[in-house]
Amino acid sequence: MHVKNVSGSSRFPKPKGYDSWLEYWKAHTGSNPYFCSAENCLGTDLVGAHVQKAYSDDKSWYIVPLCSSCNKRTDSFNVNATLVPVPSNL
């Protein structure tokens, strides 16, 4: 799945009931990732990044675990992880 970062998403509040967006992603997938989910990236300083699907009419926001440098990428890139929808009731 090709995605791109939602710019400026760090200003969004963390989800109710979770310490971070990464915790939110883990709770919804049952996964506990060690490496960044971007293809060919072995970064381990993970955050729950806000992304959109690239090349898609779907403009919804999703969470995926990315390392801090991938979280700053401005290109679109492939991730190997479940996209967990951001709740619309923030």
Query: If 0-12 CB within 10 Å is exposed, 13-18 middle and 19+ buried, where does residue 45 land?
Result: exposed
Query: Tokens for 23?
Result: 């915790």
**Residue 52 bridge partners (DSSP):** 4
Q: Which is nearer to Zn ion, 3 or 70 (CB)?
A: 70
Binding mask 70-89 for Zn ion (x = CB under 5 A): x-------------------
- Residue 39, class by beta-carbon neighbours within 10 Å (0-12 exposed, 13-18 middle, 19+ buried)? exposed
Size of the site for Zn ion (CB under 5 A): 6
Q: Are 1 and 78 in contact (CB under 8 A)?
A: yes
Decide whether 1 or 41 has the Cβ nearer to Zn ion: 41
Nearer to Zn ion, 38 or 86 (CB): 38
Least distance between Zn ion and beta carbon 34 (Å): 12
Which of positions 11-70 make contact with Zn ion (CB under 5 A)? 36, 38, 41, 43, 67, 70
